[in-house]
Each structure stands twice: as C-alpha cells, then as structure tokens.
Amino acid sequence: MAAQGLTREMLTSAALRIVDDDGLHALSMRRLGSELRVDPMAAYRHIPNKGTLLDEVVEAVMSEIDTDAVDASLPWQDRLRALAVSYLATLMAHPNAAPLIAERSLRGAGSLRVVEKALRIMTDAGAQLGDAIATIDAIGLLAAGIAQASSASVEQAEATAGKPLAGLPPEGFPLLAQAAAAGALSDGLADVFNFAIDAMIAALEAKSPSGHGPRVP
C-alpha cells in the first residue's frame, strides 16, 4: 500500500485486528506498518504515538455500541439492562481489548455517547449523578472481567466450573459444599453479569428518597 493512501481509519482498523488476533502485547507501530505494508514512520503522520493509537482502538470498539437501539419506551431498569448487555456483547466480541477499555480514560465521541446515555437513563429516573457514575464504573469493570474470562473455551469453562470445590468436607465448609453439590458454583458468565446488574439496579432503587426506587419517567 502506498503511504499517501493511508488514513487514520485504516490504521485504527488494522490496530484492532492485531489486538483481536494476537493480543495487546502484539500491537506496535512496527507491527502496524507490517500489517499495512507501509513504513512504520508513515503511521506517525496520522497517529502521533502509541498512546493515541490505543485511544483510537478504544474508540473503535466503543463506537460499535448502538445507543439508539435501546427502546426509549421501556422502564428505566430495562433500558439500563439493555445498554449494559450491549456493552458486554461488544467487549466479548473484542476480549483482548477489554483490559484497555477498563484502564484508559474514555475521550472519543463514540465512547462518551455511551456514558452519557447511561447517565441520562439513571438520572432522568431520579438517581443521583454520583451514584450513576459509580454504577457505570462498576458495570465497566465487571464487563471487562467477564469479557476476558469468556476468551477461554466454553468446554474448558464447563469442564472446570464447580469441580475444584466438589470434594469439600461439609463439616468444615457447609455452605460451600452445599453450593457445590447443588451446582450453584457453575452458573454461566451471563448469569453472573445479569445478577450483578439486577443488584446495581436494586441499590439505585433502595437509595431513592421514597424507598421505592427512582421515579419512572
């Protein structure tokens, strides 16, 4: 490819492909140049440093979330769940980028639109802004962790879930032994995520002045 035909969008797409295929550790300006068959120095004309490149990768992933797809006619709880599930699905499509998104500040318009949408859902329903921000942070960290865990094979997860605790002596660990015997330690990651989202929504409802949750617009 001729260097003069290079664009910021092409560099970002190639960077995300590298991260998806080989992980964050594989991403460098040299690797990017090799991927696009250009001199690595040509990339610096569009993206000044690796930090900016990482920000572009974050923005590319976050921009895949369609905030307009959340049905505005739904109760605020269901809208927040839908947005959280969409966020998780996006990170699970790019699990190698999940730690990057969890660690870096969100700066791009696409990223900020997602945050603004979530804040609007909660604050319009009566939640305090600080509580809404804390909820977003919690969802973000949880989704990033689950996305990384999901990169292991389903077969491996199913084969190991619950088994390390299956032989616990009931006299020493009665509740854990009971949970292991009942299969309660082998819930899927989606179940864990949904449980956590429901707990966050319940916390927002409990902190409302009336005790019955934020008002439903």
Residue 209: the pLDDT is 61
Query: With a threshold of 0.75, does the pTM exceed it?
Result: yes
**Confidence class for position 149, pLDDT limits 50, 70, 90:** confident
Handedness of CA 124, 130, 135, 137 (dihedral sign): positive
Q: Residue ranges per domain, the chain?
A: 3-48, 67-151+195-217
Tokens of 15: 């960077």
In whole angstroms, give the CA distance from residue 203 to residue 196: 10
Name which of 42-51, 64-73, 166-175 the model is least confident about: 166-175
> Which DSSP category does 104 fall into?
S
Residue 163: the pLDDT is 59
Class in CATH terms, 3-48: mainly alpha
pLDDT tens-digit map of 60-97: 999 999 999 999 999 999 999 999 999 999 999 999 99
- Assigned fold of 67-151+195-217: Tetracycline Repressor; domain 2 (1.10.357)
